[in-house]
Amino acid sequence: MHFNPRSAFAIYQREMARAFRTAFQSILAPVLTTSLYFVVFGSVIGARMEPVGGVPYGAFIIPGLLMLTLLGETTSNASFGIYMPRFTGTIYELLSAPVGVAETLAGFVGAAATKGLILAAIILATARLFVDYEIAYPLLAAVYIMLVASSFALFGFILGIWADSFEKLGIIPMLILTPLTFLGGTFYSIRDLPAPWDAVALVNPIAFLVSGLRFSFYGVADVPIAVSLGLTLGFLGLCTVIIAVIFRTGWRLRE
């Protein structure tokens, strides 16, 4: 089927409009929460901490805090965006319209990823108020952030189709993604953990994402950047395949 950019843009525009109508909840609240981390861990505690891998502690935690917000908010935005049409029944209008899977994903997932990128830009700008930092590989950082945002927007889309209640929408972001991000090297280097906990920490897939983003910032990482990029691309591909199967079978969409 021929890709219809007007259909994709219509969905994208509606989702972005919804985000700006709830700007305090979807944009300002995460930024304020992350700013508190910068104040406490970056300015107050960070000033008394030794550098980690040659990076001042306040700057060291920036990629981890950015990943913490990016994963949670992108997943939540995408899941809520597709769940609400299912909840209200308007999903049937979308399914009966001449809109393909590509247009649907481009609209919903593109909007969720865009919100994540907006949050990332605001958080990085806010961090400048509390911590001095420089990005060693800005192009790599931008590409990596976009890959992660797109991957977890797709994951959130799957979550929004799977969930059959508002409670389930928050289970994975709050009870799984957030703890895994905290345990994935947000505030410390996995290399500093004693054995066997340094090996156990590498079971956590979020640790690879945090490490990859930290490499793009400072050129230091707990795991090779190629592994982090490969894992991110693999997760992106897996989510794409799962969504294609969902639309082909109509699972949870036509029930």
Could you tell me if 155 and 239 are in contact, meaning their C-beta atoms sit under 8 angstroms apart?
yes
- Which phi and psi angles does 193 have, rounded to 5°? -75, 145
CA 156, CA 154: separation in Å to the nearest integer? 5
The pLDDT of residue 242 is 95
Contacts of 102 (CB under 8 A, 6+ apart): 1, 3, 8
The pLDDT of residue 240 is 92
Can you say how many angstroms the Cα of residue 210 is from the centroid of all Cα atoms in its chain? Answer: 11
Q: Give per-residue pLDDT as tens, 195-237.
A: 888 888 999 999 999 999 999 999 999 999 999 999 999 999 9
Q: For the chain, give the percent of residues with pLDDT over 70.
A: 99
Q: Give per-residue pLDDT as tens, 134-191.
A: 999 999 999 999 999 999 999 999 999 999 888 888 889 888 999 999 999 999 999 8
pLDDT band at 1 (very low <50, low <70, confident <90, very high): low
pLDDT band at 65 (very low <50, low <70, confident <90, very high): very high
pTM summary value: 0.91
The pLDDT of residue 37 is 87
User: Cis omega (within 30 of 0) on the bond before 56?
Assistant: no
The pLDDT of residue 55 is 92
pLDDT band at 39 (very low <50, low <70, confident <90, very high): confident
